[in-house]
Structure 1
Amino acid sequence: MTATLDSRVYLVDDHQEFRQSCIWILEQANFQVRDFPNALALLKELAREAPPARCCIVSDIRMPGMSGLELQTELVHRGLSIPLIFVTGHGDVPLAVDAMRHGAANFIEKPFDAPLLIDAIQTALAHHAPQTASTALASLTRRERQVLDGIMSGKLNKVIADELSISPKTVELHRSNLMAKLGAHNVVELTRVVLGQN
Protein backbone atom coordinates (compact mmCIF):
# COMPACT_ATOMS: atom_id res chain seq x y z
CA MET A 1 0.00 0.00 0.00
CA THR A 2 1.34 3.44 -0.90
CA ALA A 3 0.80 6.38 1.40
CA THR A 4 -0.69 9.55 -0.01
CA LEU A 5 -0.62 13.09 1.29
CA ASP A 6 -4.27 12.75 2.41
CA SER A 7 -2.96 10.37 5.11
CA ARG A 8 -2.03 12.44 8.15
CA VAL A 9 0.16 11.31 11.04
CA TYR A 10 -0.01 13.19 14.34
CA LEU A 11 3.37 12.69 16.01
CA VAL A 12 3.58 13.25 19.79
CA ASP A 13 6.91 13.01 21.61
CA ASP A 14 8.71 15.27 24.08
CA HIS A 15 12.10 14.68 22.38
CA GLN A 16 12.58 17.10 19.49
CA GLU A 17 15.36 15.04 17.85
CA PHE A 18 13.12 11.97 17.73
CA ARG A 19 10.27 13.99 16.21
CA GLN A 20 12.58 15.45 13.56
CA SER A 21 13.90 12.04 12.50
CA CYS A 22 10.36 10.61 12.39
CA ILE A 23 9.10 13.56 10.35
CA TRP A 24 11.85 12.93 7.79
CA ILE A 25 11.02 9.18 7.62
CA LEU A 26 7.26 9.77 7.30
CA GLU A 27 7.49 12.59 4.76
CA GLN A 28 9.76 10.39 2.61
CA ALA A 29 6.91 7.83 2.71
CA ASN A 30 4.46 10.56 1.53
CA PHE A 31 2.63 11.04 4.83
CA GLN A 32 1.45 14.48 5.90
CA VAL A 33 2.93 15.00 9.40
CA ARG A 34 1.99 17.31 12.26
CA ASP A 35 4.20 17.07 15.34
CA PHE A 36 3.58 18.03 18.96
CA PRO A 37 5.87 18.14 22.02
CA ASN A 38 3.13 16.82 24.34
CA ALA A 39 -0.34 15.28 24.41
CA LEU A 40 -2.12 18.48 25.46
CA ALA A 41 -0.81 20.30 22.38
CA LEU A 42 -2.26 17.53 20.18
CA LEU A 43 -5.63 17.68 21.96
CA LYS A 44 -5.77 21.46 21.42
CA GLU A 45 -5.11 20.91 17.70
CA LEU A 46 -7.83 18.23 17.46
CA ALA A 47 -10.30 20.55 19.22
CA ARG A 48 -9.41 23.38 16.83
CA GLU A 49 -9.52 21.38 13.61
CA ALA A 50 -11.32 18.09 12.96
CA PRO A 51 -8.91 15.33 11.91
CA PRO A 52 -9.10 14.00 8.34
CA ALA A 53 -10.72 10.61 7.65
CA ARG A 54 -7.33 8.95 7.08
CA CYS A 55 -5.12 9.70 10.05
CA CYS A 56 -3.40 8.10 13.00
CA ILE A 57 -1.42 9.12 16.05
CA VAL A 58 2.12 7.99 16.81
CA SER A 59 2.81 8.82 20.45
CA ASP A 60 5.44 8.20 23.07
CA ILE A 61 3.89 6.27 25.96
CA ARG A 62 5.89 8.01 28.72
CA MET A 63 5.87 11.81 28.61
CA PRO A 64 5.88 14.63 31.16
CA GLY A 65 2.38 15.82 32.00
CA MET A 66 -0.19 13.68 30.21
CA SER A 67 1.13 10.19 29.38
CA GLY A 68 0.32 8.28 26.20
CA LEU A 69 -2.13 6.06 28.10
CA GLU A 70 -3.89 9.15 29.51
CA LEU A 71 -4.05 10.54 25.96
CA GLN A 72 -5.63 7.26 24.83
CA THR A 73 -8.32 7.55 27.54
CA GLU A 74 -8.98 11.22 26.68
CA LEU A 75 -9.42 10.43 22.97
CA VAL A 76 -12.07 7.83 23.89
CA HIS A 77 -13.72 10.32 26.24
CA ARG A 78 -13.94 12.91 23.44
CA GLY A 79 -15.31 10.34 20.98
CA LEU A 80 -12.26 10.67 18.72
CA SER A 81 -11.75 7.41 16.89
CA ILE A 82 -8.15 7.72 15.72
CA PRO A 83 -5.79 4.72 15.53
CA LEU A 84 -3.02 5.08 18.09
CA ILE A 85 0.47 3.61 17.78
CA PHE A 86 2.67 3.80 20.86
CA VAL A 87 6.45 4.06 20.81
CA THR A 88 8.66 3.80 23.86
CA GLY A 89 12.30 3.46 24.78
CA HIS A 90 11.44 1.64 27.96
CA GLY A 91 10.29 -1.72 26.62
CA ASP A 92 7.70 -1.78 29.38
CA VAL A 93 5.70 -4.96 28.73
CA PRO A 94 2.88 -4.25 31.27
CA LEU A 95 2.31 -0.84 29.65
CA ALA A 96 2.25 -2.48 26.22
CA VAL A 97 -0.31 -5.03 27.37
CA ASP A 98 -2.48 -2.29 28.91
CA ALA A 99 -2.25 -0.14 25.78
CA MET A 100 -3.21 -3.03 23.49
CA ARG A 101 -6.01 -4.11 25.84
CA HIS A 102 -7.48 -0.65 25.52
CA GLY A 103 -7.35 -0.75 21.73
CA ALA A 104 -3.97 0.65 20.69
CA ALA A 105 -3.28 -0.20 17.06
CA ASN A 106 0.35 -1.15 17.75
CA PHE A 107 3.28 -0.81 20.14
CA ILE A 108 6.85 -0.27 18.92
CA GLU A 109 10.02 -0.20 21.00
CA LYS A 110 12.70 2.42 20.31
CA PRO A 111 15.01 2.24 18.45
CA PHE A 112 13.11 0.85 15.47
CA ASP A 113 13.67 0.58 11.72
CA ALA A 114 11.78 3.00 9.47
CA PRO A 115 9.90 0.21 7.59
CA LEU A 116 8.46 -1.08 10.89
CA LEU A 117 6.92 2.30 11.69
CA ILE A 118 5.63 2.84 8.14
CA ASP A 119 4.08 -0.64 8.07
CA ALA A 120 2.41 -0.08 11.46
CA ILE A 121 0.89 3.20 10.23
CA GLN A 122 -0.32 1.72 6.95
CA THR A 123 -1.91 -1.23 8.80
CA ALA A 124 -3.61 1.11 11.28
CA LEU A 125 -4.99 3.28 8.46
CA ALA A 126 -6.23 0.22 6.53
CA HIS A 127 -8.25 -1.06 9.49
CA HIS A 128 -9.65 2.30 10.55
CA ALA A 129 -13.40 2.95 10.27
CA PRO A 130 -13.89 6.43 11.74
CA GLN A 131 -17.44 7.22 10.71
CA THR A 132 -19.01 4.10 12.18
CA ALA A 133 -17.41 4.55 15.59
CA SER A 134 -17.93 8.31 15.90
CA THR A 135 -21.59 8.11 14.82
CA ALA A 136 -22.32 5.29 17.26
CA LEU A 137 -20.49 7.06 20.10
CA ALA A 138 -22.48 10.23 19.45
CA SER A 139 -25.69 8.26 20.13
CA LEU A 140 -24.69 7.45 23.73
CA THR A 141 -26.36 9.26 26.62
CA ARG A 142 -24.22 11.16 29.13
CA ARG A 143 -24.58 8.33 31.69
CA GLU A 144 -23.78 5.64 29.09
CA ARG A 145 -20.68 7.67 28.24
CA GLN A 146 -19.62 7.70 31.91
CA VAL A 147 -20.12 3.93 32.18
CA LEU A 148 -18.16 3.46 28.94
CA ASP A 149 -15.27 5.51 30.37
CA GLY A 150 -15.28 3.22 33.41
CA ILE A 151 -15.24 0.08 31.23
CA MET A 152 -12.39 1.49 29.11
CA SER A 153 -10.45 2.12 32.32
CA GLY A 154 -10.82 -1.58 33.21
CA LYS A 155 -13.12 -0.95 36.18
CA LEU A 156 -15.64 -3.50 37.49
CA ASN A 157 -19.36 -2.67 37.45
CA LYS A 158 -19.35 -2.32 41.26
CA VAL A 159 -16.53 0.26 41.14
CA ILE A 160 -18.26 2.21 38.35
CA ALA A 161 -21.48 2.13 40.40
CA ASP A 162 -19.71 3.49 43.50
CA GLU A 163 -18.03 6.27 41.51
CA LEU A 164 -21.28 7.34 39.83
CA SER A 165 -23.42 6.83 42.98
CA ILE A 166 -25.78 4.44 41.21
CA SER A 167 -26.59 0.77 41.75
CA PRO A 168 -24.59 -2.04 40.07
CA LYS A 169 -27.88 -3.10 38.38
CA THR A 170 -28.18 0.35 36.80
CA VAL A 171 -24.58 0.12 35.59
CA GLU A 172 -25.40 -3.28 34.03
CA LEU A 173 -28.41 -1.74 32.25
CA HIS A 174 -26.34 1.17 30.86
CA ARG A 175 -23.57 -1.27 29.91
CA SER A 176 -26.01 -3.48 28.04
CA ASN A 177 -27.56 -0.48 26.24
CA LEU A 178 -24.24 1.06 25.17
CA MET A 179 -22.87 -2.27 23.94
CA ALA A 180 -26.02 -2.77 21.87
CA LYS A 181 -25.69 0.74 20.39
CA LEU A 182 -22.02 0.10 19.54
CA GLY A 183 -22.69 -3.42 18.21
CA ALA A 184 -20.26 -5.04 20.66
CA HIS A 185 -20.71 -8.42 22.39
CA ASN A 186 -17.73 -8.21 24.76
CA VAL A 187 -15.09 -5.77 26.01
CA VAL A 188 -12.58 -6.68 23.27
CA GLU A 189 -15.14 -5.86 20.54
CA LEU A 190 -16.13 -2.75 22.47
CA THR A 191 -12.56 -1.38 22.52
CA ARG A 192 -12.19 -2.08 18.80
CA VAL A 193 -15.42 -0.19 18.03
CA VAL A 194 -14.54 2.71 20.33
CA LEU A 195 -11.10 3.09 18.74
CA GLY A 196 -12.34 2.57 15.20
CA GLN A 197 -10.83 -0.87 14.61
CA ASN A 198 -14.06 -2.75 13.78
Structure 2
Amino acid sequence: MVLPQQIVIVDDERSVRNGLSNLLHSEGYTTNQFESGEELMRDIMALTGTALLIVDVRLKGMSGFELYAILKKHSILLPVIFISAEQDDSVQNYAHSLGAVTFLRKPIDVDILLDIIRDELSQGKAY
Protein backbone atom coordinates (compact mmCIF):
# COMPACT_ATOMS: atom_id res chain seq x y z
CA MET A 1 0.00 0.00 0.00
CA VAL A 2 1.35 3.42 -0.97
CA LEU A 3 0.69 6.20 1.52
CA PRO A 4 -0.53 9.54 0.17
CA GLN A 5 2.09 12.24 -0.13
CA GLN A 6 1.90 14.91 2.56
CA ILE A 7 1.97 18.61 1.79
CA VAL A 8 2.44 21.21 4.52
CA ILE A 9 0.61 24.52 4.09
CA VAL A 10 1.74 27.63 5.99
CA ASP A 11 -0.57 30.63 5.56
CA ASP A 12 -2.02 33.04 8.10
CA GLU A 13 -5.36 33.17 6.27
CA ARG A 14 -7.61 30.33 7.45
CA SER A 15 -9.66 30.41 4.25
CA VAL A 16 -6.53 29.92 2.13
CA ARG A 17 -5.28 27.06 4.33
CA ASN A 18 -8.63 25.32 4.30
CA GLY A 19 -9.21 25.88 0.59
CA LEU A 20 -5.80 24.51 -0.36
CA SER A 21 -6.19 21.60 2.05
CA ASN A 22 -9.59 20.65 0.63
CA LEU A 23 -8.26 20.89 -2.92
CA LEU A 24 -5.22 18.75 -2.14
CA HIS A 25 -7.30 16.15 -0.26
CA SER A 26 -9.57 15.85 -3.31
CA GLU A 27 -6.44 15.00 -5.32
CA GLY A 28 -5.32 12.28 -2.88
CA TYR A 29 -2.72 14.18 -0.87
CA THR A 30 -2.66 14.54 2.90
CA THR A 31 -2.04 17.96 4.40
CA ASN A 32 -0.86 19.56 7.57
CA GLN A 33 -1.72 23.23 8.13
CA PHE A 34 0.02 25.95 10.09
CA GLU A 35 -0.95 29.57 10.70
CA SER A 36 2.63 30.81 11.07
CA GLY A 37 6.24 29.86 10.70
CA GLU A 38 6.58 29.92 14.46
CA GLU A 39 3.74 27.40 14.82
CA LEU A 40 5.43 25.06 12.36
CA MET A 41 8.79 25.39 14.13
CA ARG A 42 7.12 24.44 17.45
CA ASP A 43 5.90 21.23 15.75
CA ILE A 44 8.89 20.54 13.51
CA MET A 45 8.22 16.79 13.63
CA ALA A 46 5.15 17.53 11.50
CA LEU A 47 7.57 17.74 8.58
CA THR A 48 8.40 14.04 8.90
CA GLY A 49 7.18 12.43 5.71
CA THR A 50 6.42 15.75 4.07
CA ALA A 51 6.89 15.85 0.30
CA LEU A 52 6.37 19.57 -0.35
CA LEU A 53 5.73 22.92 1.35
CA ILE A 54 3.31 25.63 0.27
CA VAL A 55 4.29 28.80 2.12
CA ASP A 56 2.81 32.30 2.04
CA VAL A 57 5.49 34.97 1.78
CA ARG A 58 3.73 37.47 4.06
CA LEU A 59 2.97 35.84 7.39
CA LYS A 60 2.36 37.29 10.82
CA GLY A 61 5.65 37.00 12.65
CA MET A 62 8.47 35.57 10.58
CA SER A 63 8.03 35.76 6.83
CA GLY A 64 7.77 32.72 4.61
CA PHE A 65 11.25 33.50 3.31
CA GLU A 66 12.63 33.59 6.87
CA LEU A 67 10.92 30.28 7.67
CA TYR A 68 12.41 28.63 4.60
CA ALA A 69 15.89 29.95 5.46
CA ILE A 70 15.63 28.49 8.97
CA LEU A 71 14.50 25.13 7.60
CA LYS A 72 17.43 25.09 5.17
CA LYS A 73 19.82 26.02 8.00
CA HIS A 74 18.58 22.91 9.83
CA SER A 75 19.14 20.81 6.66
CA ILE A 76 15.42 20.43 6.03
CA LEU A 77 15.58 20.68 2.26
CA LEU A 78 12.01 20.31 1.07
CA PRO A 79 10.71 21.66 -2.22
CA VAL A 80 8.68 24.82 -1.65
CA ILE A 81 6.02 26.69 -3.54
CA PHE A 82 5.78 30.28 -2.33
CA ILE A 83 2.45 32.06 -2.64
CA SER A 84 1.58 35.70 -2.12
CA ALA A 85 -0.79 38.49 -3.03
CA GLU A 86 2.35 40.61 -3.50
CA GLN A 87 2.62 41.96 -7.04
CA ASP A 88 6.24 43.14 -6.88
CA ASP A 89 8.42 41.15 -9.28
CA SER A 90 11.36 41.39 -6.87
CA VAL A 91 9.46 39.13 -4.44
CA GLN A 92 9.02 36.52 -7.17
CA ASN A 93 12.68 36.83 -8.17
CA TYR A 94 13.80 36.40 -4.57
CA ALA A 95 11.62 33.29 -4.16
CA HIS A 96 13.29 31.75 -7.20
CA SER A 97 16.75 32.73 -5.92
CA LEU A 98 16.04 30.71 -2.76
CA GLY A 99 15.43 27.64 -4.90
CA ALA A 100 11.64 27.63 -4.86
CA VAL A 101 9.83 25.26 -7.18
CA THR A 102 7.76 28.27 -8.18
CA PHE A 103 6.07 31.44 -6.96
CA LEU A 104 2.32 31.82 -7.46
CA ARG A 105 0.31 34.99 -6.98
CA LYS A 106 -3.02 34.95 -5.16
CA PRO A 107 -5.66 34.24 -6.20
CA ILE A 108 -4.02 30.97 -7.12
CA ASP A 109 -4.91 29.22 -10.35
CA VAL A 110 -5.61 25.77 -8.91
CA ASP A 111 -5.04 23.95 -12.19
CA ILE A 112 -1.55 25.43 -12.48
CA LEU A 113 -0.85 24.65 -8.81
CA LEU A 114 -1.91 21.02 -9.20
CA ASP A 115 0.11 20.61 -12.40
CA ILE A 116 3.22 21.97 -10.64
CA ILE A 117 2.72 19.72 -7.61
CA ARG A 118 2.16 16.62 -9.75
CA ASP A 119 5.24 17.41 -11.82
CA GLU A 120 7.45 18.05 -8.79
CA LEU A 121 6.31 15.00 -6.84
CA SER A 122 6.41 12.64 -9.81
CA GLN A 123 10.14 13.19 -10.22
CA GLY A 124 10.75 10.65 -7.47
CA LYS A 125 13.08 12.86 -5.46
CA ALA A 126 13.74 11.71 -1.92
CA TYR A 127 13.68 14.40 0.77
Query: Does the alignment reach a TM-score above 0.5?
Result: yes
Query: What's the CA shift for 1:49?
Result: 4.6
Query: What's the CA shift for 1:37?
Result: 0.4
User: Is 1:75 equivalent to 2:74 in the alignment?
Assistant: no
1:79-121 deviations in Å (ceiling 9; x for gaps) = 0011010011112211111111111111111112221111222
The residue aligned with 1:85 is 81
- Provide TM-score, normalisation by structure 2: 0.89
- Report which of the two structures shows the higher radius of gyration computed on alpha carbons: 1
The residue aligned with 2:10 is 12
User: Is 1:110 equivalent to 2:106 in the alignment?
Assistant: yes
Percent of matched pairs sharing the same residue: 26
The residue aligned with 1:31 is 29
Q: Over the residues paired in the alignment, what is the CA RMSD in angstroms? A: 1.7
Q: Greater helix percent: which structure?
A: 1
Q: Post-superposition, which runs of at least 4 consecutive aligned residues in structure 1 deviate over 4 A?
A: none
1:36-68 deviations in Å (ceiling 9; x for gaps) = 00011122222x35521x510001011111101
- Gap runs ≥5 in structure 1: 131-198
Distance verdict in 2 for CA 1:50–1:21, change over 3 Å: closer
Q: Greater strand percent: which structure?
A: 2
Distance verdict in 2 for CA 1:76–1:114, change over 3 Å: same
The residue aligned with 2:93 is 97
The residue aligned with 1:181 is none
User: Is 1:62 equivalent to 2:58 in the alignment?
Assistant: yes
CA distance in 2, matches of 1:105, 1:35: 19
Say if 1:5 and 1:31, in contact at 8 Å, map to a contact too: no
Matched AA of 2:34: F
Q: SS state of the match for residue 70, structure 1?
A: helix
- Gap runs ≥5 in structure 2: none
